[in-house]
Structure 1
Amino acid sequence: MTNTTQCLRQNVDIELINNAKEALCHMGERLEKDANTFSLLGSAVRLKILYLFLKFDRMCVCDLSDVLEMKQSPISQHLRKLKDAGLLENRREGLTIFYSIPSDKKEQLKEIIENNI
């Protein structure tokens, strides 16, 4: 036997409904981006990587491999996902590619990560 709950309201608050729809319209794109960020942070490895970048500004795949004690290939895949989402940028110096958090994303990620771990 299933227990089904239904919403039974006596009055429809049209103003509330319209204001809520308007609020979603204004924030829709931002909420989509934030949802994507939270999805990426759902991986413990990616969360650790971003945490390390917040603490140490820039690192290469070799550095991350040593710190996380993982092979470079899976780390590179995580870095690619973070870079594709705009949460990381990279810069080549000779044969080494260094990754870092873009300055315009640093405060947002710092707030999300440091307030939730």
Structure 2
Amino acid sequence: MENNQSCIRVFADKVQIDNCRKILQTNDKAFSQLSGLLALAGNEVRLKILFLLEEENELYPCDLSDILGMSIPAVSQHLRKMKDGNIVQTRRSGQTIFYSLKPEHLEILKPFFKHISKQSLKTQTV
């Protein structure tokens, strides 16, 4: 343990502290990936886009532009950030590029989307 702690306590559980440090160190990459995902999804527009991609499987930027009432360049900028962050993937069909959510992120995001859907149902029944 480090001596520069400002906490005053009778007993510090060194084993617990060491175990917790080990857990954090072992899962460092997972924390980094989740943090990046949540940072990108933390923007309301990007969260809406991710929700729509999960609902519809894939969408074209023009469709997202119409749905969100935003310009195509603004939507494209959000999609680019998510593609650079490795959250979405693309599929080309001729000149058209479709975006979809990467399956490995669905497991993390699905509970958030489920919460949003539940809130929507509550609002509709009130």
Same fold (TM over 0.5): yes
Normalized against structure 2, the TM-score is what? Answer: 0.81
**SS in structure 1 opposite 2:27?**
helix
Following the alignment from structure 2 to structure 1, what is the Cα–Cα distance between the partners of residues 68 and 96?
18
Q: Which amino acid aligns with 2:106?
A: K
Matched length: 111
Structure 1 residue 108: deviation in Å?
A: 2.4
* Other-structure match for 1:96: 96
Q: Does 1:63 align with 2:92?
A: no
Matches within 5 A, 1:1-117: 7-111=7-111, 113-117=112-116
Q: Say what the alpha-carbon RMSD is for the aligned residues.
A: 1.4
Following the alignment from structure 1 to structure 2, what is the Cα–Cα distance between the partners of residues 95 and 102?
21
Structure 2: 5+ residue stretches without partners: 1-5, 117-126
Following the alignment from structure 1 to structure 2, what is the Cα–Cα distance between the partners of residues 115 and 28?
27
Residue identity over aligned pairs, in percent, reads 38
Structure 1: 5+ residue stretches without partners: 1-5
| Greater fraction of residues in helix | 2
Q: 1:24 to 1:115 in 2, by over 3 A?
A: farther
Following the alignment from structure 1 to structure 2, what is the Cα–Cα distance between the partners of residues 14 and 116?
39
Normalized against structure 1, the TM-score is what? Answer: 0.87
Q: Which amino acid aligns with 1:114?
A: F
Structure 1 residue 25: deviation in Å?
A: 1.2
**SS in structure 2 opposite 1:91?**
strand
- CA deviations 1:56-111 (Å, max 9, x no partner) are 01101100000000001011010011111111000111111000112232222213
